[in-house]
Structure 1
Amino acid sequence: MSKNKISIERFSPELAEDFKVINQAWIEKYFVIEDEDKRVLNDPKRYLIDTGGEILFARDNDSGEIIAACALKKWTEDEYELSKMGVLEGYQGSGVGKFLAKAIIEEAKKRGCKRLFLESNRKLKPAMKLYQQLGFKEFTNHESRVDYSRCDIVMEMFL
């Protein structure tokens, strides 16, 4: 999918349902929805935006459809988490995930982020490959910050 066919948009209340639907789809496909998922997906403004983070969306300019979403969660002034990244099934493998992830990394840099981390699961092979291509490295000396039983890897990059 060419980049001129995709536009990146910031969170607005009318996009909250897209954020929920996109993320519920991949979580339910591979795992189960956990309490923390419900909290964040049901009120992303409160738990991500109002705490200093952002959510970016990818829109297919041909169809007008929101096809991907990714959150940037603020932990400290210079530490953020790449979170809740999902791409609608029909668009997976098209490059939209990488395009959106690069936009989130740029957003993190603009906000003064020095360490960007993510928590994921090794069985999500395409996601693992993407994170490595973007420059994330496994961080082994860690304790999980988020309460998801599905996470078995933490990766980080320094900006």
Structure 2
Amino acid sequence: MNPSRFSIIPFTQNLADDFKNINQAWIEKYFEVEAEDLRVLNDPKKYLIDTGGHILFVYDNETQQMVAACALKKWADDEYELSKMGVIEGYQGTGIGQALAEAIIEEAKQRGCKRLFLESNRKLTPAMNLYQKLGFKEFVNHESRVDYSRCDIVMEMFL
């Protein structure tokens, strides 16, 4: 990711629609948008920010648009979930996702996170490869925290 072209910026309320649009695009492409998706995407401030989480975006300074988003959802003082990570079409495979994930992992560390986990689907091969590259390992004996029918894998890392 070219730091002169792209900036990583935190959530502000005026970016709520960008968060929804970036995530809804990938969910609709591969799955179906579920009730829990709509709850979070329609009010990320209430369900992520106000509960102790964080959202980061990647902004393309050339095109002046948000091109990626990722959330950090707080479950406990030392446990967070990497959630709702999406990169818009045309920017995938450019390293933006990795840079964004690394920034969200760093944010989790600064917040005292000891265990960071995510729930995903094995058919999202590029995402699976990225998570493994970042150091996430499959958590075999798991129970899903969020009831998304699309999730067939839980991965975790210890910070």
Whether TM-score is above 0.5 comes out as yes
CA offset digits 1:121-158 (Å, max 9, x no partner): 00000000000000000000110001100000000000
Work out the CA distance in 2 between the residues paired with 1:62 and 1:150.
Answer: 35
Q: CA deviation at 1:61?
A: 1.5
TM-score, structure 1 normalization: 0.99
Q: CA deviation at 1:90?
A: 1.0
Q: CA deviation at 1:64?
A: 1.5
Report the counterpart of residue 79 of structure 2 in structure 1.
79
Report the counterpart of residue 2 of structure 1 in structure 2.
2
CA offset digits 1:99-121 (Å, max 9, x no partner): 00000000000000000000000
Report the counterpart of residue 139 of structure 1 in structure 2.
139
1:131 alignment partner AA? Y
Is residue 58 from structure 1 mapped to residue 63 from structure 2 by the alignment?
no
Q: CA RMSD in A?
A: 0.6
Q: CA deviation at 1:63?
A: 1.6
Work out the CA distance in 1 between the residues paired with 2:119 and 2:4.
Answer: 30
Report the counterpart of residue 15 of structure 2 in structure 1.
15
Residues 60-69 or 83-92, more deviating: 60-69
Q: CA deviation at 1:32?
A: 0.1
Work out the CA distance in 2 between the residues paired with 1:15 and 1:93.
Answer: 23
3-state SS of the aligned residue for 2:90?
helix
Mapping for residues 1-159 of structure 1, pairs under 5 Å:
1-159=1-159
Give ranges in structure 1 of 5+ residues lacking alignment.
none
Work out the CA distance in 2 between the residues paired with 1:92 and 1:157.
Answer: 23
Give ranges in structure 2 of 5+ residues lacking alignment.
none
Q: CA deviation at 1:4?
A: 2.7
Runs of 4+ in 1 over 3 A off after TM superposition: none
3-state SS of the aligned residue for 2:144?
coil
TM-score, structure 2 normalization: 0.99
How many positions carry a matched residue from both structures? 159
Q: CA deviation at 1:3?
A: 2.9
1:11 alignment partner AA? F
2:8 alignment partner AA? I
